[in-house]
A = this chain, B = another copy of it.
Amino acid sequence: MPELSEALQKILAIILDMDGVIYLGKKPIKGAAKAVAYLRRSGKKMIFLTNNSENTRRSYVEKLARMGIPVTEDEIVTSGQMAADYIKSRNPKARVFTVGGEGLTSEMKLAGLKLVPPEKATHLVVGMDRNINYEKLTAGMHAIMAGAEFIATNVNNVYPTEKGLTPGAGAIVGALVGSTKKRPEIVVGKPSPLIIRFGLRILGTKPSETAIIGDRIDVDIKVGKRVGLTTILVLSGISKKGDLKKILGTKMAPDFVIDSLSEVMD
């Protein structure tokens, strides 16, 4: 694919999705570590950006290290971190309640935001949570009923794992929509441009100098198009060739399609 290598030469920075691009669950995708090393040697700036908010940035550093991909915490961006930035920039005295994993509360604390019981929250942040239960849903519902701003880290319907698809954060958000009849007031993760602009500030590059590599047409490619990035779809995660057929020739079509990340290597 000579076109892609040409395009990459003009690219200064890359926003890399992780689930479905670098790994599926705990299983690394073949050639991903080599490809990341290659991009680094080519002088590309990189951030590893995920809609998943369950885990801390530190845990992503450790997970990638286990897969032979050395990164620093500054190179990780999560939708939980984005939610914390969104809240803090609007109201530093916000009182936050979360329905999500450890990574989500951790990001709130790192941002210096105060965590409170649901009835006292000014902001409710909802993210992926594989330990979801009725008590957590009840608490989230009470936060919304008490008037908290309903913030979704993302509304991805599914989540790719080594064992197949499982429900994404959209399921947790959907449960709260179903119990409150209120929709999230904002979605901070992809395909919201918010998280990509946040990433570009970290990278210090312009959209025209930046590419996004992701596995979802409706999330990664969509947001790349929205912000004006070069868009590269990998077929190693959620979106498949069949999905691609439906959008080829439309404005939703990615600039490049590759089977897996290893194809970025010349």
Q: Enumerate chain A interface residues (CB-CB to B < 8 A).
A: 129-134, 137-138, 141, 145, 155, 157-158, 165-168, 170-181
The answer to whether A131 and B134 touch (CB under 8 A), given A141-B165, A173-B178, A180-B157, is yes
Of B165, B168, B173, B179, which contacts A158 at CB under 8 A?
Answer: B179
Beta-carbon contact of A168 and B157 below 8 Å: no
Q: Is the interface of A mostly helix, strand, loop or mixed?
A: helix
Q: A132-B134, A179-B174 are in contact. Are A167 and B155 (CB under 8 A)?
A: no
Most buried by B among A157, A167, A170: A167
CA–CA, A177 and B170, complex, Å = 9
Of all chain B residues, the one with the shortest Cβ separation from A137 is B167
Complex Cα distance, B146 from A187, in Å, reads 29
CB neighbours (8 Å) of A174 from chain B are 174-179
Q: Name which residue of chain B comes closest to A140, CB basis.
A: B167
Q: A141-B167, A171-B175, A174-B179 are in contact. List 9 more A-B contacts (CB 8 A).
A: A129-B134, A132-B132, A132-B134, A134-B166, A138-B167, A141-B165, A141-B166, A157-B181, A168-B178
Cα separation A158 to B158 with both chains bound (whole Å): 25
Given contacts A131-B134, A141-B171, contact A178 B155 (CB under 8 A): yes
| A132 to B178 Cα, complex, angstroms | 14
Return A62 CB to nearest CB of chain B, in Å.
Answer: 23
- A129 CA to B135 CA, complexed, in Å: 11
Residues of B within 8 A of A130 (CB): 134
A168 touches B179 (CB 8 A): yes
Chain B residues contacting A179 (CB-CB under 8 Å) are 157-158, 167-168, 170-171, 174
